[in-house]
Amino acid sequence: MKGFFRALCLVMIIMVVAGVSVSCQTKEAEKVAAGKGKEKMTFTITSTAFKHEGMIPKEYTCDGVDISPQLAWTNVPESTKSFALICDDPDAPVGDWVHWVMFNIPSETRELREKIANDAVLPNGARHGTNDFRKYGYGGPCPPGGTHRYFFKLYALDSMLALKDKVTKKDLLEAMKGHILGQTELMGKYSRK
């Protein structure tokens, strides 16, 4: 049977040389070719500071220098025009406590370096909203006691957002409705006695 298939392919190759269009793939090769490019890569956010569900180091908290951790993302959805970021603590005694709100992060951005300035507008045009400490930018974990979870949620959006100053998490969530192409999150923990 293999000899027959090889002879048939040879005839087809001769036909191609003669200008006749043919295909000389086995069924298995056709299945492999059909599967290529169809695997959907997952939109993912990571940090060099801590692993997903790991402990957030002290330097990124109110017990340290309270700087923002490095964040990076991959496999961005097609047609992304901007990113938005929210970091919150659902374990706070008063309910969800917001630590970071950022939006209009340019679409070509794939990383926020450690120690991002807490300015209202950053050099690349990204904007900070206000956190529950009533400040622009990042405010690190500072639980009153026990272990809390901190979710860094990144959204890929199909547009820039027409929001200006003192944007809250609620404002951002409302503005993003109908514009979210993808979402990913990284969760870290921090504990105080």
Q: Three-class SS string for the chain?
A: CHHHHHHHHHHHHHHHHCCCCCCCCCHHHHHHHHHCCCCCCCCEEECCCCCCCEECCHHHCCCCCCCCCCEEEECCCCCCCEEEEEEEECCCCCCCEEEEEEEEEECCCCEECCCCCCCCECCCCCEECECCCCCECCCCCCCCCEEEEEEEEEEEECCCCCCCCCCCHHHHHHHHCCCEEEEEEEEEEEEEC
Label residue 14 by pLDDT band (50, 70, 90). very low
pLDDT confidence of residue 193: 81
Reported as a single tens digit per residue, the pLDDT across 96-127 is 999 999 999 999 999 999 999 999 999 999 99
Percent of the chain's residues with pLDDT above 70: 79
Global pTM? 0.79
What's the CATH number for 44-192? Answer: 3.90.280.10
- The chain-wide mean pLDDT, for the chain, equals 86
Instruction: Say how far apart CA 55 and CA 187 lie, in whole Å.
Output: 9
**Residue 29 in this model has a pLDDT that exceeds 50:** no
Reported as a single tens digit per residue, the pLDDT across 140-190 is 999 999 999 999 999 999 999 999 889 999 999 999 999 999 999 999 999
pLDDT confidence of residue 164: 84
Which residues is 60 bridged to in the sheet? none
Label residue 76 by pLDDT band (50, 70, 90). very high
By residue count, the chain amounts to 193
Asked if residue 72 lies in contact with residue 154, where contact means CB atoms within 8 angstroms, the answer is no
Q: Higher-confidence residue: 64 or 21?
A: 64
Ranges of each domain in the chain: 44-192
